[in-house]
Amino acid sequence: MPEKSDSPKKFWQELKRRKVFRVLAIYAGAAYIIIEVVNNISEPLHLPVWFATLIILLLAIGFPVAAILAWIFDFTPEGIVKTEPIIETEKKEPLIKPSGKRRLKVNDFVIAALIVVIAVMAWPKIFKRNSLENLVSSDGRISVAVMPFQNMTNDTTWDIWQSGIQNELIASLTNSGELKVRQAETVNSLMQSRGITDYASIAPTVASNISKTLDANILVNGSINQAGNTVRVNAQLVNPKNEEVIKAFQVESADREEMIFDIIDSLSAQVKDFLVISKLKQGSSIDEKHTTTTNSPEAYRYFMYGQKAFNNTDFTTAINYYLQAIDIDSSFYSAITMLSVAYYNINRLDLAKQRCLEVYEKRNELDIAKNIHLGWLYSLYFETPNEEIKYLNQSLELDDQYPGIYYELGRIYVALQQYDKAITAMKKVHDIYKKWESKPRWVNDYIMLGFPYHETGQYRKEKRLYKKAEEDFPGTYYVPQRQAILALTERDTVAANRYIEECKSVAGDLSLPPVQINFALGYIYTEGGYPDKAENCYREAISIEPENPSCLNNLGNFLIDEDRNIEEGLELMDKALALRPDSYLYLENKGKGLFKQGKYKEALELLEKSWSLRPLYNHSSYLLIEKAKKAGVDQLNN
SS3 231: strand
Higher pLDDT, 97 or 174: 174
The pLDDT, as a whole number, for residue 76 is 60
d(CA 185, CA 373): 12
For the stretch 222-235, pLDDT in tens is 888 887 778 888 88
How does pLDDT run across 576-620, given as a tens digit for each residue? 999 999 999 999 999 999 999 999 999 999 999 999 999 999 999
- Report d(CA 195, CA 442) in Å as an integer: 15
Instruction: Give yes or no for a contact between 22 and 110, defined as CB atoms under 8 angstroms apart.
Output: no
Per-residue confidence (pLDDT) for residue 242, from 0 to 100: 80
**Whole-number Å distance between alpha carbons of 8 and 356:** 82
Mean residue pLDDT across the chain: 85
**56 pLDDT above the threshold of 90:** no
Please tell me whether residue 35 adopts helix, strand or coil conformation.
Answer: helix
- Look at residue 544 and tell me whether its pLDDT is greater than 50: yes
Q: Above 70 in pLDDT, residue 380?
A: yes
Gap between the Cα atoms of 215 and 210, Å rounded: 9
> Where is pLDDT greater, at 73 or 30?
30
Instruction: Please provide the DSSP assignment of 89-153 as one string.
Output: HHHHS------S-----HHHHHHHHHHHHHHHHHHHHHTHHHHHHTT--TTS-EEEEEPPPEE-S
Phi first, then psi: what are they for 238, rounded to 5°?
-125, 140
* Mean pLDDT score, 2-22: 64
Q: How many CB atoms lie within 10 A of CB 111?
A: 15
**Percentage of residues in the chain having pLDDT higher than 70:** 82
Going by pLDDT thresholds of 50, 70 and 90, the confidence category of residue 364 is: confident
Interior CA angle at 127 toward 126 and 129, to 5°? 110
- Which pLDDT value is given to residue 81? 60
Q: Report whether 291 contacts 168 (CB < 8 A).
A: yes
Nearest-10 Cα torsion for 424, 429, 435, 440: -140
Residue 564's pLDDT is 95
Q: Is pLDDT above 90 for 44? A: no
Lowest mean pLDDT among 12-16, 53-57, 256-260, 610-614: 12-16
Q: Supply the pLDDT for residue 125.
A: 55
- Residue 233: name the closest of 177, 178, 169, 290 by CA: 169
CA dist 525 and 484 (Å) reads 9
Alpha helix stretches (DSSP H) within 127-233: 128-133, 160-174, 184-193, 204-213
Which tops the pLDDT comparison, 266 or 482?
A: 482
CB 485 within 8 A of CB 454: yes
Q: Is the dihedral of CA 39, 42, 47, 48 positive or negative?
A: positive
List residues bridging with 219 in a β-sheet: 145, 238
> pLDDT tens across 547-588, in order?
999 999 999 999 999 999 999 999 999 999 999 999 999 999
* Cα–Cα distance for residue pair 176/155, rounded to 1 Å: 34
> Hey, what long-range contacts does 372-380 have (CB within 8 A, 24 or more apart)?
372/398, 373/337, 374/337, 376/408, 377/337, 377/340, 377/341, 380/344, 380/616
Residue 230 or 473, more confident = 473
d(CA 407, CA 409): 5
Q: How far apart are the first and last CA of the chain?
A: 128
Which of 180-184, 201-205, 609-613, 629-633: highest mean pLDDT? 609-613
Cα angle 142, 146, 152 (rounded to 5 degrees) comes to 145
Whole-angstrom distance, CA of residue 624 vs CA of residue 630? 10
The β-bridge partners of 226 are: 231
Around Cβ 90, how many Cβ atoms within 10 Å? 9
Average pLDDT over residues 469-494: 96
- pLDDT at residue 69 is higher than 70: yes
Please determine, for residue 82, whether its predicted confidence score (pLDDT) is greater than 80.
no
**278-295 pLDDT, tens digit each:** 444 444 333 444 455 788
Query: Best-predicted range by mean pLDDT among 68-72, 156-160, 206-210, 374-378?
Result: 374-378
Domains and CATH numbers, the chain: 2-93+104-126 (no CATH), 131-291 (3.40.50.10610), 293-401 (1.25.40.10), 547-638 (1.25.40.10)
- The count of C-alpha atoms lying within 13 angstroms of the C-alpha of 9, restricted to the half-sphere facing its C-beta, is 5
423-426 long-range CB contacts below 8 Å, 24 or more apart?
423/449, 423/452, 423/453, 423/456, 426/452
Adjacent-strand bridge partners of 231: 226, 253
How many Cβ atoms sit within 10 Å of the Cβ of residue 104?
8
* Residue 1 reports pLDDT greater than 50: no
pLDDT on residue 566: 97
Distance (Å, rounded) from C-alpha 202 to C-alpha 571?
64
202 pLDDT more than 70? yes
Sign of CA dihedral 493, 499, 500, 501: positive
- The closest alpha carbon to 243, from 283, 203, 273, belongs to 203
pLDDT at 54 over 50: yes
Neighbours of 122 (CB within 10 A): 12
CA dihedral sign, ordered 256, 259, 264, 270: negative
Kindly give, in sequence order, each residue whose CB lies less than 8 Å from that of residue 400, ignoring residues fewer than 6 positions away.
Answer: none
Task: Give the residue, 127 or 410, on which the prediction is more confident.
Answer: 410
Three-state SS across 532-585? HHHHHHHHHHHHHCCCCHHHHHHHHHHHHHCCCCHHHHHHHHHHHHHHCCCCHH
| Region 436-464 average pLDDT | 95
Question: What is the reported pLDDT for 92?
Answer: 54
Average pLDDT on 180-206 reads: 84
Res 43 pLDDT > 60: no
